[in-house]
Structure 1
Amino acid sequence: MRRSRNSILVILLSSISFFAACGKSSAAFEKQLSEAALRPVAAPASVAPETIGYVLFDPATGTVVEEFNRRLPLIPASTTKVLTLGLALRDLGTDYRFKTTLGYNGDLKTGDLVLSGGEDPELRVRDLLSLLGQLQSRIGTEWTGRFYYAGEPLFARDRIDESMEAEAAYNPALGSLSLDSNIIYLRWKKTKGSSEAHLVPSLPGIDLSLLNKEPGEEDEREVLYAGQGEGWLLRKPKQPEGMRAVPVKDAGLFTGRVFQRLAATRGVRIPDPQPATTPDADRTLAVHESRPLEAIAEQILATSDNVMTELVLLHLAKKESSRPLPLHEAATFLENQYRSRMPGLDWTGFQLRNGSGLTSANRITAEQLLASLLYADSINGGIERLLPIGGWTQGMMGRLNRPDEAFRVVAKAGGIYYSVSLTGFVYPKSGRRLAFAIMITDLNRRKAYESANDKLSRRKSNEARMWMMQNREALDGIVSSWISRY
């Protein structure tokens, strides 16, 4: 995201949080929402009434401006990230930093080298190079002892959501020691009579095989997961050359192997990585600290990165529970925090199974989502200044971007097949600052899609994509009407 563009938000939009501007506590909007009469308008003609819920709220007056089915539980998809990041920013602090540690047990050079993860959501290759440089300055060209990678065992899983495709780059492994969102890149190029393909990075244990068969109508996947370890199968590509991201299945091992490969490119020999039985090392060689959580949150809201969000949730739940929790328990922790912090709100139907929204099991009402947004906006400076700007920044650049719409909407979008959502703030032509949450979910179609034997077919995918496009346009149309009417 371009920070120079974000500075325009300071000029165009108020950066003062709802609480500072209105002098109201969280109990104020909680009470206002829970007591506001249900005064629905007619649902948009293009949307089935039972699939949509929204609420438009004026924080300055504490009134519901417009609503429809605001207490109907629907799938929030990636707008779930607002809940995860909002709580993390409030409780950990906007300047909180994650740590990745390189240490050792025993003697320098001959002992056990340990690379320990601390759930850093944005650990990158350049950060490993920094750690490597500090190691190299101490040992020279070789570590003759063993090399371990370490993290919380309860956090390790081969994909975020078991019901989603194993081949999807947005559904990779999780682990305390994660790197570059746990994806690698598959590149291919057709040559005379054959095809060449390789993975970047090319690491031991990550295998690639070529199949002499193109993707078909019944299964449009180009890349197939072999079903165990890090094995991949590439179907005969239609394009002469290309690249696509594929998910890593073991985050800690992947990070350890990349560190070993980087060391080799710099002339440093390190043994093959092994999983550690304990995350701690007696002595510290180097520590990498992440950027402030506030900067990480801004990036997540722009890119909607699932791995980064889940790592924030796992770390937050560990810190506040004083013990590591597996992902589903961390999501329950998040759910319970919102229930307990706004007890006056109607939480009927609210359930969370992860913190990124990459699941069809999460449920939230528009009223609950709006209250969570306003709660998140009570942090120092407010979450609004971190949200994507309609028509301008990543995450909202291609939406609400007409001349009479651009810059007027600051929001987080979400979407999985048969569900779209948007929550944030809108500045109508009157100059008011209104908060909103809107979701459209066809639960019946989503259920049918998940149980279909041919859900991987091109026909099923095209049907789902068409639904997404039509209902995203309907959603944006509602928000656009608010700009002109209020």
Structure 2
Amino acid sequence: MKSFLTSITLLSFLFLSGQSPTNKILTEFLKHKALKNASISFYVYNLTDNNSIINHNGDLALIPASSLKLITTATALEILGENHRFTTTISYSGKIENSALNGNLFIKGGGDPALGSHRYRSYYGAFLSNWSTSIKALGIDSINGKIIADASIFDNEVPPTWIWQDLGNYFGAGANGLSIYENFYTLALSSKNEAQKTTISQINPHIPFLSIDNNVLGTSTNKDLSFIYGGPFQYNRYISGEIPKNRSDFKVKGSIPDPAYLCAYELDSVLKTSGIKVAYHPITKRLLGDSFIEDTTTEITSTQSPTLASLIQQTNLYSINLYAEHLLNHIGLHIKKEGSTTAGAEALINFWKTKGIDTDGMYLYDGSGLSRFNTITTKQLVSILSEMDKSQHKEVFYNSLAIAGKSGTLSSIAKGTAAEGKIYGKSGYMTNVRSYSGYITTNSNKKIAFAIIVNNYNCSAYEMKKMLEKIMVSLVNE
């Protein structure tokens, strides 16, 4: 162990003196008993002087968790551009005769991850009512056809390496070519005494056909320990676990089984409320299968997403899995003409390979970091951060990052220390995985890019967070 640590000091901490605070903290960190079974990778690059200053297992491929979002968002910015938007289109087939549409109404999804999102409530406004108004403006008071939701811009498959425990929950909602409300619904649970079964008081929005077998108990816990089970397009859901007892309106979020269908259902409801009669039940292109016929259509109206710059800011600041998965699908669509996780991952890796980055060991199975099959190295993360520091989209990317002690997923990091406000980055966490990556401005006014990943540690997630926080703060003080 002594010779190992000596070699680390000599070969890795290139700019740090033997008495450096970071040197001491890193040496203590590597010897910590909680890391005896752990895999650790740490890489730091001085962007001001253009040299590597710390390299501990920089080429070791590890599970990054949500730090992967930095790579996904950076790639989307470089390929699509910061002003890119995604468009949802309303159109019709057939003819309008005597105030009746003798044809079908189509909702064509453009892969907008934020349509109807609570984060963009003022941006989208009453988008469904706006669509209805545009339809009524054509003089239509009845539709002798179907409302058909078309999400086929993507393959609409969740990454196959996601675990069953995640799929039914909001963070396990996959990308959909026609997403709505961030593809989650909110379940309100009422709990009573210890170990008593809870009751469902509300589901918002209403999901037609949804059936939930509720086995959640109220206990002395102070947080949400419940999980919803169920996959895409499955309406029978099972929820179990625990929530705090004696609560009347405890919120739990689940993934919408079929977002495209819900969008068609929602528009159908709004049209009927406005007085427009619809002859058939809403449906999707997927459900129609081989019976779906590509008709010539006439556009009625369209809704554009916020800019990619705005979507990326939300993705990185609040670690939104759904947005990252959409971006990966769009990368695949743009480069390989296929909106899928596989195509996106292949296109992403190849993009950075053509930039001269060594992508050996980079294996990607999603865009958000939820899959435990993902592996990347800290050197790869830092290399991409270095490229983005030279990019025309540098400012947009930088502004999308959380700020230590102030915002997003880093709001509780380095609060009240000299490092507060000087670390811009992204965190990553899942069971036995902790990671941080981003940029640091040191007290000596140097700008550095860094990444650290730890897998399989033997302590609590909070304890690991505090240890890594200490390392990041020490880098600021250099």
Pairwise TM-score range, normalised by the shorter structure: 0.7 to 0.9
Give the SS at the match of 2:408. coil
Report the CA distance between 1:329 and its aligned residue: 3.0
Distance 1:284 1:429, change over 3 A: same
Q: How far has the Cα of 1:162 moved from its partner?
A: 3.1
Residue 229 of structure 2 is aligned to residue 225 of structure 1: yes
Distance 1:187 1:421 in 2: 33
Shift of 1:376: 2.8
User: For 1:70-117, what per-residue CA distance to the aligned partner results, in whole angstroms no more than 9, with x for missing partners?
Assistant: 111111111111111111111211111110001111123221100011
Q: Quick one: which amino acid aligns to residue 105 of structure 1?
A: S
* AA matched with 1:274: I
Q: Within the alignment, does 1:208 sit opposite 2:212 as a pair?
A: yes
Partners of 2:186 and 2:169 in 1: CA distance? 12
Q: Secondary structure at the match of 1:246?
A: strand
Return the alpha-carbon distance in structure 2 between the equivalents of residues 162 and 216 of structure 1: 30
3-state SS of 2:252 partner:
strand
Secondary structure of the equivalent of 2:115? coil
How do residues 325-336 of structure 1 correspond to structure 2 at under 5 angstroms? 325-336=339-350
Q: 3-state SS of the aligned residue for 1:178?
A: coil
Alpha-carbon distance in 1 for matches of 2:312, 2:388: 12
1:121 aligns with 2:113: yes
State the TM-score, normalized to the length of structure 1: 0.79
- Map residues 385-404 of structure 1 onto 2, 5 A cutoff: 385-404=399-418
1:39 equivalent to 2:12? Answer: yes
1:97 aligns with 2:85: yes
Q: Is the 8 A contact 2:211 2:237 kept in 1?
A: yes
Root-mean-square deviation (Å): 2.9
Among 377, 380, 399, the residue aligned to 2:389: 377
Residue 298 of structure 1 corresponds to 313
The 8 Å contact of residues 87 and 376 in structure 1, kept in 2 or not, is answered as: no
Which AA in structure 2 matches 1:349? G
Deviations 1:143-199 (A, max 9, x none): 332110002275212577532513322001331001122000111335899845231
Mapped contact 2:159–2:341 kept (Cα < 8 A): no
What are the Cα deviations for residues 228-271 of structure 1, in whole angstroms up to 9, with x where unaligned? 72223455964432111111122211222233234345444444
Please say if residues 169 and 228 of structure 2, whose CA atoms lie closer than 8 Å, have aligned partners that are also in contact: no
Aligned to 1:187, the other structure's residue is in SS state strand
Q: 1:278 to 1:320 in 2, by over 3 A?
A: farther
Q: Distance in 2 between matches of 1:168 and 1:291?
A: 25
Q: Runs of 5+ in structure 1 lacking a partner?
A: 1-36, 446-462
Contact 1:86 1:377 in 2 (8 A): no
Match of 2:333 in 1: 318
Percent identity, aligned pairs only, is 20
Query: d(CA) in 2 for partners of 1:251 and 1:82?
Result: 26
Cα displacement string for residues 340-364 of structure 1 (whole angstroms, at most 9, x for unaligned residues): 222xx44331211111111111111
What residue number does 2:256 align with?
Answer: 248
Q: Within 1, Cα distance between the matches of 2:390 and 2:47?
A: 12
Is the contact between residue 185 and residue 253 of structure 2 (CA under 8 Å) also seen in structure 1?
yes
Moved more, 172-181 or 114-123: 172-181
Q: 2:271 aligns with which of 252, 256, 263?
A: 263
- Sort the Cα spacing of 1:474 and 1:223 in 2 relative to 1 into closer, same or farther, 3 A: closer
Deviates more, 1:120-129 or 1:64-73: 120-129
8 A Cα contact 1:116 1:279, kept in partner: no
The answer on 1:357 being equivalent to 2:369 is yes
Residue 139 of structure 1 deviates from its aligned partner by 4.2
Work out the CA distance in 2 between the residues paired with 1:280 and 1:151: 16
What CA distance in whole angstroms lies between the structure 2 residues aligned with 1:141 and 1:377? 55
Q: Secondary structure at the match of 1:138?
A: coil
Q: Does 1:179 align with 2:180?
A: yes
Relative distance call for 1:424 and 1:213 in structure 2 (3 A) is closer
Shift of 1:203: 2.8
Q: Counterparts of 2:347 and 2:324 in 1: how far apart (Å)?
A: 15
Whichever residue aligns with residue 275 of structure 1, its letter is T
Cα drift, residue 303 of structure 1: 1.4
Alignment of 1:275-286 (within 5 A): 275-276=284-285, 277=292, 282-286=297-301
Normalising by structure 2, we get a TM-score of 0.80
Q: Does structure 2 conserve the Cα–Cα contact (< 8 Å) formed by 1:149 and 1:256?
A: yes
Of 322, 340, 354, the match for 2:354: 340
Q: Which amino acid aligns with 2:366?
A: N
Number of residue pairs matched by the alignment: 423
- Displacement of 1:377 in angstroms is 3.1
Matched with 2:3 is: none
After TM superposition, the structure 1 = structure 2 runs for residues 458-473 of structure 1, keeping only pairs within 5 Å, are: 467-473=460-466
Structure 2 Cα separation of the partners of residues 354 and 158 of structure 1: 9
The answer to whether residue 75 in structure 2 is matched with residue 87 in structure 1 is yes
SS at match of 2:107: strand
Q: CA 1:224 to 1:367, structure 2 compared with 1: closer, same or farther past 3 Å? A: closer
Alpha carbons 1:173, 1:248 under 8 Å: kept: no
Q: CA deviation at 1:209?
A: 4.0
Following superposition, the deviation at residue 304 of structure 1 comes to 1.0
